[in-house]
Amino acid sequence: MLQLTGITKRYEIGTFKQTALDGVDLAFRSKEFVCILGPSGSGKTTLLNMIGGLDRYDAGDLLISGKSTRHFKASQWDSYRNHAIGFVFQNYNLITHTSVLANVEVGLTLSGLSAEKRRERALEVLERVGLIDHVYKKPNQLSGGQMQRVAIARALANDPDIILADEPTGAIDSATSRQIMSLIQEISRDKLVIMVTHDEQIAHTYASRVVTLRDGQVLHDSDPYVPEQSTTDKLSFKRTSMAFLQALQLSFSNLKTKKFRTLITAFAGSIGIIGVALVLSLANGLNQEIDRLEMTTLAEFPIQIETVAFDLAAARQSGPPTGRPSDAGDFEQFPDVRTIFPFQRSLSPVQHVNIISDDYMQHIDALNPIYYHDILINRSVNMNILHRRPNDQVNRINTGTVNFEPMLGNPDFFSDNYDVLEGRLPENHQELLLIVDAYNRLNVRFFTELGLDPNAIEYDFDVFLNRSFQVVLHDDYYTYDAATNRFFQPTNLTAFYGENRGIDLSIVGIARVSEGALSNVLSQGIKYHPDLAALYLEHAATSEIGLAQLASPERSLITGSTITPQTHQSLLRSLGVDSTPSSIAIYPVSFEAKEAIRDHLDAFNVDRSDAERIIYTDLAAIVTELTSDVINGISYVLIAFSSISLIVSSIMIGIITYVSVLERTKEIGILRSLGARKRDIARVFNAETTLIGLVAGSLGVAIAFLLTFPINAIIGNLVDQLDRLAVMPIQAAFALIVISVILTLIAGLIPSSIASRKDPVAALRVD
């Protein structure tokens, strides 16, 4: 079954040349015990390595069952060693960090057997060699004879056709040698056993055939064999492969023998992970705090719809505004020319004109009331409000100066944000409310408008409480002059002011923003009951001046001047003829309700053109989004700096892996002798770096998690209500562990590649 024809092997080291085998012709029977004798340097071990497929011949041919191996690929030699060859070495060559059972199972693993069958077969051969009671011991817990029995059991595990033994009794005493030789002799009854020895007595006592080598040539053969001509032209062995799980187990057992070094390496590799994890924890905690702020404190900030809104999406996408000259391309900034270009100024690309139509107001009205506290609608109407000052002079109040605006219609929402300091809340359209700020202050212009001394230190509530005003409707306030086709206001308001001139108003209460309330719900000033606006607008729409001005789009009937369409529209809104809101503020009841309101508002824009869209402003969302963007930007920078330590630690792990390759060189040779492929060797060390990366990542995440407690305690003592600023995100924790594994795996690629290319014969010689 095995035949060598003209096998020649030469070694060249620089100018030194040596012929280890010189035209060896040998054939072996399928069942016999062949001892190869010869002095040192005669080529015995080289011949054994050739037969075992560990070394390659330079000339000649090795025939297996009549099949030439001259063109064998590396994978075919690996399969041949795994399925047809069992090695027994002089110094045992056991993997010291695994158990006896695991040593025997390694070759079976490469064969692809299931775990159950591997264990069954390994226990069977260990019982055959008398080691069934030592299966869970490590090799260093056995005697020399017992270790050699483990080696024999490993050689027999795959039931190979050929057992190759290299000085199997060279490292054990004579009594144990006889036991080992008897066992090998027994094995030779149903297998081909080829043993190399320098002991002639052992050779002639136990072998059925003795072959003597000298200077790489066959000097004597006690029982030569000439095989019949074989017609075999096919020879196939199952491909060997080591599963990644088995590689993990092998590497794990190795790392367990170096626990301290493994932990130190993992800790060094975890430093970068700790830094990144802490940055992510702080960023996550800050974002959660911002979300919490939005969901609680900022949840009731209004969603505002203004006549001219800012499109933030367009602002982010557009660059500086550009104009277009009359006959050229886009403007060049700071041009070096003696030319002036006319251009048409338009709205900034970030500005959007909201056309608040009746359809949109109906859409607002359709909003479910459970989602909001109140909807505050402001219009540009300038009511005719008269007021008698302390000096008995009557003036028309500037509504903008005193912030004459509608008050909140929901009393519960109002009471949540304001405290009534004096009096009560308005109950009808004739009652007003005065709002002061948290310091009981009003703007100095407010006092001037009411004819009070703005330089006074303070005023008692009684000065304002029950103070009277009068709203005069248009038909009573304006007088038409047919000659000039204009409407005139009263020239003497003091004489004009009196009973039955309009609607009498009075301040019935003074309120102040409550502690912790939203300060922007209502501005300081005079607030009126919503029914007053409805009454005033109803009259304005049918008033004489209103109808006349509506029919005169090119001329103001108050000033007599020519006006533009935009000015005409503004004039109609000032008179109350056009009741289109200038702004709408919707106050959500909760964060979830705000989302529902936004969805409702967005639904209006579906299938509408850009000009028809209504853009709203959610100030709370803008603030939180911008803050989150800033936090994320800072986090990215910090993560980038932290990642430098990740790269450094990865390089260090690569160096440690290379050291491991040097330490496990003999193990590499053992695995190759058992049929492991180059990629299997690489897989073993990739598995080791994977385990180190897993430990480093897990350790880094765990340490970072523990550090969040003192960090939160310190920040909590420095800043109130920020006792959980560092919060480890679960997804990021798992992602960092995966990243750690990937980085260490990449770092170990070069060392594992070096390991896979090691010569198995040279590897086996390493002590």
Per-residue pLDDT band at 258 (split at 50, 70, 90): confident
Give the pLDDT mean for 388-392. 91
**How far apart, in whole angstroms, are the C-alpha atoms of residue 270 and residue 737?**
10
Interaxial angle between packed helices 749-756 and 730-747, expressed in degrees from 0 to 180 and rounded to the nearest 10? 40
Per-residue pLDDT band at 341 (split at 50, 70, 90): low
Per-residue pLDDT band at 327 (split at 50, 70, 90): very low
Q: 10 Å Cβ neighbour count for 553?
A: 14
The pLDDT score that the predictor gives to residue 507 is 96
Per-residue pLDDT band at 725 (split at 50, 70, 90): confident
2-239: CATH architecture: 3-Layer(aba) Sandwich (3.40)
For the CA atoms of 423, 426, 431, 434, the dihedral, rounded to the nearest 10 degrees, stands at 60
15 or 693, higher pLDDT: 693
Token pair belonging to 308: 């001219």
247 or 503, higher pLDDT: 503
Q: Are 259 and 647 in contact (CB under 8 A)?
A: no
Give the pLDDT mean for 195-211. 92
Token pair belonging to 177: 């040698």
Q: Are 654 and 720 in contact (CB under 8 A)?
A: no
Least confident segment among 237-251, 266-280, 450-464: 237-251
**How far apart, in whole angstroms, are the C-alpha atoms of residue 255 and residue 250?**
9
- 560-608 per-position pLDDT tens digit: 999 999 899 999 999 999 988 989 999 888 878 888 999 999 999 999 9
Give the pLDDT mean for 349-358. 82
User: What is the average pLDDT value for the chain, to the nearest integer?
Assistant: 86
Q: Please name the residue that has the structure tokens 């009096």.
A: 423
Q: 10 Å Cβ neighbour count for 129?
A: 21
Q: Which helix (H) or strand (E) holds 701?
A: helix 678-718
Look at residue 549 and tell me whether its pLDDT is greater than 80.
yes
Share of the chain above pLDDT 70, in %: 92
Q: Are 303 and 594 in contact (CB under 8 A)?
A: yes
The pLDDT score that the predictor gives to residue 321 is 46
Q: Please name the residue that has the structure tokens 């765990």.
A: 702
The pLDDT score that the predictor gives to residue 299 is 57
Helix (H, G, I), strand (E, B) or coil at 230: coil
Give the pLDDT mean for 289-300. 66
The pLDDT score that the predictor gives to residue 373 is 87
Give the pLDDT mean for 45-60. 92
Q: Which helix (H) or strand (E) holds 432?
A: strand 431-436
Per-residue pLDDT band at 762 (split at 50, 70, 90): confident
The pLDDT score that the predictor gives to residue 718 is 80
Per-residue pLDDT band at 147 (split at 50, 70, 90): very high
Give the pLDDT mean for 123-139. 92
The pLDDT score that the predictor gives to residue 312 is 60
β-bridge pairing 525-528 and 16-28: unpaired
User: Could you tell me the residue ranges of all domains in the chain?
Assistant: 2-239, 255-295+626-765, 382-529
**How far apart, in whole angstroms, are the C-alpha atoms of residue 676 and residue 162?**
18
Look at residue 346 and tell me whether its pLDDT is greater than 70.
no
Contacts 24+ apart (CB under 8 A), 354-361: 354/305, 354/306, 354/307, 354/308, 354/309, 354/614, 354/615, 355/611, 355/612, 355/614, 356/305, 356/307, 356/580, 356/581, 356/584, 356/614, 360/604, 360/614, 361/581
Interaxial angle between packed helices 244-256 and 100-111, expressed in degrees from 0 to 180 and rounded to the nearest 10? 160
The pLDDT score that the predictor gives to residue 528 is 94
Interaxial angle between packed helices 100-111 and 115-128, expressed in degrees from 0 to 180 and rounded to the nearest 10? 130
Q: 10 Å Cβ neighbour count for 47?
A: 28
With CA atoms as reference, report the closest residue to 320 among 332, 335, 308.
332
List helix spans (H) across 296-410: 312-317, 358-365
- 19-37 per-position pLDDT tens digit: 999 999 999 998 999 999 9
β-bridge pairing 394-396 and 372-379: unpaired
- 695-706 per-position pLDDT tens digit: 999 999 999 999
**How far apart, in whole angstroms, are the C-alpha atoms of residue 191 and residue 64?**
15
650 or 516, higher pLDDT: 650
Look at residue 173 and tell me whether its pLDDT is greater than 70.
yes
Q: 10 Å Cβ neighbour count for 313?
A: 10
Look at residue 486 and tell me whether its pLDDT is greater than 90.
yes
- 518-545 per-position pLDDT tens digit: 555 788 999 999 899 999 999 999 999 9
Q: 10 Å Cβ neighbour count for 601?
A: 20
The pLDDT score that the predictor gives to residue 544 is 95
Look at residue 1 and tell me whether its pLDDT is greater than 60.
yes
